Every structure is written in C-alpha cells, then in structure tokens.
Structure 1
C-alpha cells in the first residue's frame, strides 16, 4: 500500500515541480503588446543620442548612416575621414541583428519565453556597451561632458583619434540589438511603430485620413504620436544625462535597464487563451 501510494504521488510531485515553467510556454495575449514596443522608442532615443555624440553615427536610425556611407565615396566630410567606416559597421551589425533575431520566428515567436529571451539578450548587448563606456575602454564613449572650451574640444578630437577603431565595438553592439528590436515590433504586429525610424512614421501620421479622429477611433494614430514623443524624450534625456558627471555610460545603463525590465514583463504577461476543445458527439450525429 505504501509503495503504491508513493508511486501514485510521484507524478503529482513532478507536475508540481514543472508547473512554474509551464506559463513560459504560453503565447502572450496580444492586447496592449504595443506598450512594450513603444517603450523601445525611448531606448532608441537614449542610445542614438550617445552613439551620435560619441561617433557621429547612429546605432538605431540607419537611414542617416546610409547617407554617411555614400558620402564616404567622395571622402566627405573632410574632417571625419572614417565616418563612412563607422556607418558601415553600424549598418552591417543592424543587418546581422535583423537576421539573427528573425530566426526566433521559428521558435514560437509569441511565446513568453521567446519574447523574454529576445529582450534580455538585447539588454545584455546594451549593458556591454555601457560597461565599455563606464570603464573608458573606448575613449569616445568615455566622455562625461560636452566640450565647453577650445581645449576641451581639442581633447575630444584627440580621444577620438586614440580610439584606434575601438568605437566600432559599442556601435556594433548597439546596432545589432536594434536589429532585434525592430524585428520584435514586426513579430508583435505593431508595424506602425518600427521604433527605429521616423521618416515613414511622419508620412503615415500626417497622411492619415483619420488624423483628428477621437482617441478611441484611431489607435494606430495614437501609437505613432506616442512613438515620436517617446523617441524624442529619450533623446532629450540622453543628452542631458551626458551633460552631467554621470556621462554617456549612465544613458546606456538606463537604456539597458528599460530593455531588461521589458524582458521580465513578458514573463508575467497575460497568456493567450487556449483554443476550446470541441465537445464529443455521443449521439454520433454527422
């Protein structure tokens, strides 16, 4: 009796041990999934404010980098002969991020575990870039304040020359994870908020026939406006943080913390209801 009882209790105990992981295999309910995507716009503003201030290139908005790359063919701008190289590295890393993170489509893309893993990985790339800035391992990312005097400006130019290509590392790290960010916006179906670009967003917003409709009548318009506001707010916050003694690293730590928090949020997100099972047909009616 005792032996049989222990064997009967074993599956129940095993089930109890696995139960806390079971929700991670659930797909998220798609209601309000636009909110984490919108929060990513703030991350874009924070990181791009640092990347542009440190290297003159973008980590998120690749349209500008494409123009910088094109100008490099004519050896312009004359005072930044390697700007094209930094732009190329950012574009290539962004492409790689899009390619790698897009493969998560094959592993239940709406599953809580998949979304959480994606966002946590993105946060880790930002954290590595922040650590490089914090330790001043990359001189151009280690500046604490904007240059205010001629001597400060000359020092900033000198530190850029001393980078010896090291500035390409944080640029690549940030651009790679931004590739994953825009992929996740597509996976969640929030195409009107790409998180990385504003040009098409401006066009879609201003050409919307329901531009002045009530809030409840045009959610896509609401998301576009929120996206613009949050990206600009992130850029402003990043700029002011860089003017303090905290420096560029603080803006990157904040961006990484936001992205990591979003990864945790997916773990506790509301699950998508399971499809209802069809009731048996005892009467055998066809």
Structure 2
C-alpha cells in the first residue's frame, strides 16, 4: 500500500537512487528495491516546518541500471512507530533542524559528495569518449607529410654511413639484386635485406593493429605513433652508445638492430596513409607522386583549387629538406645519431598532435 503524503524521488549518478517519504503525521515506512532487494534504513523523526514526520532514505549501491523504469522502488508500512528522539535544546543540530530551510541544507549536504562523484565520473566519461572517437581526416595530410622529412633525414644519413636505406625499399631491392649477383663484393645487400624484411613485417603488424582495434580511433593512432617513436629512440640509443660503424666491416648488432627498428616504424607511417585515406602519401615513395603530379590536368590551377596537387608538390620538397639536414648530420661528428634524435623530436610532435586532433564532426557533437 502506497503511503499518503508527499513523495519526492531523485536519481543521482548511475546505479544510485534516493527516495524520500515525508508525512505530516509520525509514521514509519519501509522501501525495498525490486532489482537488488536492498532494504532501507529507518531514520528518526524530524521537523518539516511546524509539523512532524519521519524521513526514509533508499541508497541502492548495487544496481547498475541506467533506466529509471528498470529500477523501481516500492513502499510498504511498518506496524511499529519510530521512536521519537529527545530534543537537543541549544545545540547546533537543533537550530539547524528548527530552521525553515534546515531540510534543504541537510539535503544539500547529503547530495554534495554524491554529486562530486558524478562530476568525477563525467570527466572520465568525456576522456573515454575523446580517446575512442575517430580522428578527422581533415588536414590529416599534414601529419603524413611530416613523415617525408623523417624519411629524408634518416635515409640520407644511413645511406652515407651504412650504404643502405632505412625507409625507401625500392633502392634496397636494387642493392639486394646487386648483392645476389656478386655476394662477396660487399655486405650492403645483407643490410638492405634486413631493412626490407623488417618493413614487410612492420606492414603486417601495423595494418592488423589498426584493423582489429579501430582504425582511426584516437588512442589507436596515438599509440601507433608512440610505438614508432620508441623504436627510433631505441635505434638512436644503440647508435649513440655503440661503437663507431661504417659501410665496411661485419654486420653487427649495432647495425642490424637499428636498421630493423627504423624500417619497422617506417611501415607504420605507410599504413597510416591508408588508414587516413591518403594512399599516395606513404612517406616512403616518390616515383608515383612525380607521375601523378606532372600528369595532373590542373597542374597550374590556383592553390585553393587543387589540394591533391599541393600535397604531391609538398612531398618531394619536404623529403629534400630532410635529406639536406641528414647530409649535414652525416658530415658532422655526431653522425647518424644526430639524425635519429632529430627524427625522435619530429615523431614526438606528431604523436602529441594526435592527442588533440579534432574528431569527426558527427562524433564531436
């Protein structure tokens, strides 16, 4: 039987409900949650204006439902009456209870910690939505074009010092063919073969990483570039702390492992171009870009009228800039280590950019 009197219900946070029953005459009531069978606790009588009545509270902490219809509360009456408390004359609690707004202040104090948890949960929820949202492909070409600087930087320096490419596998394939024709002339074909195999394995791993975990999800893009950066860091540490190497001599761990790490992460750059929908901007190939650029019917159109032409024009220019600075590092005392640490800084900047990259319009709303 439903009790007479005023019935106010308020839902605070997920999986938590509160229900207050106020009556103008002293009585006692019980409430039970149909979903989890949690009983209420009876509280002593308190003042509502100039009338007296009990207050019952239900705090259901076990239910996880978010639907008010699925989580209903029913009430029934007790046969016994609540024991009246002795008045606290002259105390702060009695003055608060006798005050006209004492009930509102008490309710506010009750809700304060719960609302604090709700705000904390809302921040976590916003962060979760931010990290799981798909990043927008708009201006995604900027992140891919930065890869051409890294490619030119490390490849120019590696070819000068080790005699093999780390990212562009067309030249490495030629070196392997030359080495198979005369395997005893040099071991450059072995270094090129290590780079090719690592690039192939990296393409296999990064493509499945994006395919199975969410493609353009922000945390997937961010973690992918973070792994690429860590691989360049490991290669830079080996080159910095290891012995001095060159084009001659055996292929040691301090040569083979850095080649494999940088080639593996270069495959991640190429896979990102497929994920973002800019298939031409792989960061490792220029031949097809030259063909598409100079065969474009709108080659001389205004800059705002041919975006793809702008991308194809920027790619070789950026790779040339990277190769220039890689050559400067190669002729310096720092050598390949300087080029690799510069690549780490560029990769770190791109990784941070993915954390704040705009989401797709429909998900950003």
Short-chain TM bin: 0.7 to 0.9
2:229 to 102, 123, 134: 123
Separation in 2, partners of 1:16, 1:194: 37
Separation in 1, partners of 2:135, 2:280: 20
Separation in 1, partners of 2:293, 2:117: 59
Q: Secondary structure at the match of 2:261?
A: helix
TM value normalised by structure 1: 0.83
Which residue in 2 is equivalent to 1:231? 319
Q: Secondary structure at the match of 1:274?
A: helix
- 2:341 is the alignment partner of 1:259: no
- Higher CA-based Rg: 2
- 2:268 is the alignment partner of 1:180: yes
Contact 1:59 1:90 in 2 (8 A): yes
List gaps (5 residues or longer) in structure 1: 141-155, 278-286
2:302 to 214, 237, 240: 214
Which residue in 1 is equivalent to 2:123? 16
Separation in 1, partners of 2:124, 2:280: 41
Separation in 1, partners of 2:260, 2:115: 55
Q: CA shift at 1:89, angstroms?
A: 0.8
- 2:143 is the alignment partner of 1:36: yes
The CA RMSD measured in Å over matched residues stands at 2.1
Which residue in 1 is equivalent to 2:207? 102
Q: CA shift at 1:224, angstroms?
A: 0.8
Q: CA shift at 1:11, angstroms?
A: 3.4
Contact 1:36 1:262 in 2 (8 A): yes
Separation in 2, partners of 1:182, 1:39: 12
Q: Which has the higher relative contact order, 1 or 2, with Cα contacts under 8 A spaced 6 or more apart?
A: 1
Distance 1:64 1:276, change over 3 A: closer
Q: CA shift at 1:201, angstroms?
A: 1.2
Which residue in 2 is equivalent to 1:45? 152
Contact 1:138 1:167 in 2 (8 A): no
Contact 1:42 1:234 in 2 (8 A): yes
Which residue in 2 is equivalent to 1:26? 133
Q: CA shift at 1:3, angstroms?
A: 5.5
Contact 1:185 1:194 in 2 (8 A): yes
Moved over 4 A (4+): 1-9
Q: CA shift at 1:245, angstroms?
A: 2.7
List gaps (5 residues or longer) in structure 2: 1-106
Which residue in 2 is equivalent to 1:113? 219
What number of residue pairs does the alignment pair up? Answer: 257
Q: Identify, as 1 or 2, the structure richer in helix.
A: 1
Deviations 1:37-58 (A, max 9, x none): 0011000001101221222111
Map 1:30-109; keep pairs closer than 5 Å: 30-75=137-182, 79-80=185-186, 82-103=187-208, 104-109=210-215
Q: Secondary structure at the match of 1:20?
A: helix
Which residue in 1 is equivalent to 2:7? none
Contact 2:232 2:340 in 1 (8 A): yes
Separation in 2, partners of 1:83, 1:276: 50
Separation in 2, partners of 1:226, 1:38: 7
Q: Identify, as 1 or 2, the structure richer in strand.
A: 2
Distance 1:164 1:111, change over 3 A: closer
Stretch moving more, 120-129 or 164-173: 164-173
Q: CA shift at 1:163, angstroms?
A: 4.7
Q: Secondary structure at the match of 1:237?
A: helix
Deviations 1:84-122 (A, max 9, x none): 211111110000111111011222211111111111111
Contact 2:160 2:330 in 1 (8 A): no
Contact 1:41 1:195 in 2 (8 A): yes
